[in-house]
Amino acid sequence: MTKFWGGYIILLTLVCLGLIVWLLFATRKGQRPDQTDETVGHSFDGIEEYDNPLPRWWFMLFLATLAFGAVYLILYPGLGQYRGLLGWTQIDQYELEVERMQEQFAPIFARYTSMPVEEVAKDPEAIRIGQRLFATNCSVCHGSDARGAFGFPNLADDDWLWGGTPERIKETITLGRQAAMPAWLAVVGDKGVRDVSGYVRSLSGRDSEKADLEAGKTIFQTNCVACHGPEGKGNNMLGAPDLTDEVWLYGSSMLQVQQTVRYGRNGNMPSQAHLGEDKIHMLASYVYSLSQEEGETVDVGAHRSEQ
């Protein structure tokens, strides 16, 4: 915060407090000291208010509130860049609470960190901890059940873009991933997009929808094999998906596949290195455990794991 805005906040706060004090005393000074049957002259939903002074206890309560506010602003930060006499800050309080939690839970994390991911993935207590970490850091993209959504990978199946071994999962969580499917419209044209999209769909047994499969195959062999391989099986090292299965991250309809080929796709898995090695180990164990459970593969355009 700059000095200008700090001073502006201080001035605005003090002026507002001063006006409140003035209004409180000014209105009380003009009131009758005794009780009266006269009203203020207005009706509020059929209710009329007597023109009597504010009760003394109510007036004193206002003063006590203002005094408390003044003391608070002296002791704690609330006036621009002024830190308060006690020197308390939200950041210091947060760091103190984090330090306390680290001391409390560090032994638990240390015990599990010394175990292989495969063993941790079988421990019910560890899974519960990993599930809470997942809910806090990952569910916003992958969903609370880890089954993803359109453009966000399903982590509960056995299909992995970047590999599903414990080492690869930890690497993905720690470093993040940047997937890039280039746009091919300028290279192959509209007809080429349609033909290669039909060919790609045919690799998983889908209808080519009147596309020229031979032409599409030629385009695929010329432009796509470098990432997806000659048979379209993908490449974990590059994060290139297998095009021959039933799992589609951005949808498998002809229109959706053409959209992907025509304009490309860019997926980003952010790095979670800020969690620290111990929490990443727990999180990787939980994600790994999900893929060890057999589940149904549903083609809703959102079930290709990115890990």
Measured CA to CA, the distance from residue 41 to residue 30 in angstroms comes to 16
Q: Is 181 annotated as a binding residue?
A: yes
Mean pLDDT of the chain: 89
Q: Domain for residue 28, yes or no? A: no
Please give the structure tokens belonging to residue 244: 């021959």
| DSSP H or E run through 28 | helix 3-29
Q: Is 227 annotated as a binding residue?
A: yes
Q: Domain for residue 93, yes or no? A: no
- As a whole number, mean pLDDT of residues 210-233 equals 95
Note the pLDDT of residue 295: 43
Q: Domain for residue 202, yes or no? A: yes
Q: Domain for residue 30, yes or no? A: no
Q: Domain for residue 61, yes or no? A: yes
Q: Are 1 and 80 in contact (CB under 8 A)?
A: yes
Coil/strand/helix, residue 180: strand
Of 171, 297, 180, the residue nearest 245 (C-alpha): 297
Measured CA to CA, the distance from residue 9 to residue 5 in angstroms comes to 6
Tell me, what CATH number does 200's domain have? 1.10.760.10
Q: Are 221 and 261 in contact (CB under 8 A)?
A: no
Q: Domain for residue 218, yes or no? A: yes
Q: Is 274 annotated as a binding residue?
A: no
Measured CA to CA, the distance from residue 303 to residue 307 in angstroms comes to 12
One-letter amino acid at 210 equals: K
Point out which residues pair with 268 in neighbouring strands.
178
One-letter amino acid at 263 equals: Y
Task: Give the 3-state secondary structure percentages of the chain, helix then strand then coil, rounded to 5.
Answer: 55, 10, 35
Q: Domain for residue 100, yes or no? A: no
User: Could you tell me the pLDDT band of residue 229, with boundaries at 50, 70 and 90?
Assistant: very high
Q: Is 16 annotated as a binding residue?
A: no
Note down the domain range covering 72. 43-88
Please give the structure tokens belonging to residue 252: 């498998």
Q: What is this structure's pTM?
A: 0.69
Of 112, 121, 117, the residue nearest 293 (C-alpha): 121
C-alpha distances (whole Å) from 46 to each of 42, 49, 51, 175 are 9, 10, 16, 67
Q: Domain for residue 116, yes or no? A: no
Measured CA to CA, the distance from residue 201 to residue 278 in angstroms comes to 42
Domain count, the chain: 2
- pLDDT tens-digit profile of 16-58? 999 999 988 887 765 555 666 777 777 788 888 777 777 889 8
Task: Give the rounded percent of residues in the chain with a pLDDT score beyond 90.
Answer: 70
Question: How many other CB atoms are there within 10 angstroms of residue 218's CB atom?
Answer: 15
Residues in contact with 240: Cβ distance below 8 Å, sequence separation at least 6, in sequence order? 161, 227, 228, 229, 234
Please give the structure tokens belonging to residue 106: 């560090």
Question: How many other CB atoms are there within 10 angstroms of residue 288's CB atom?
Answer: 22
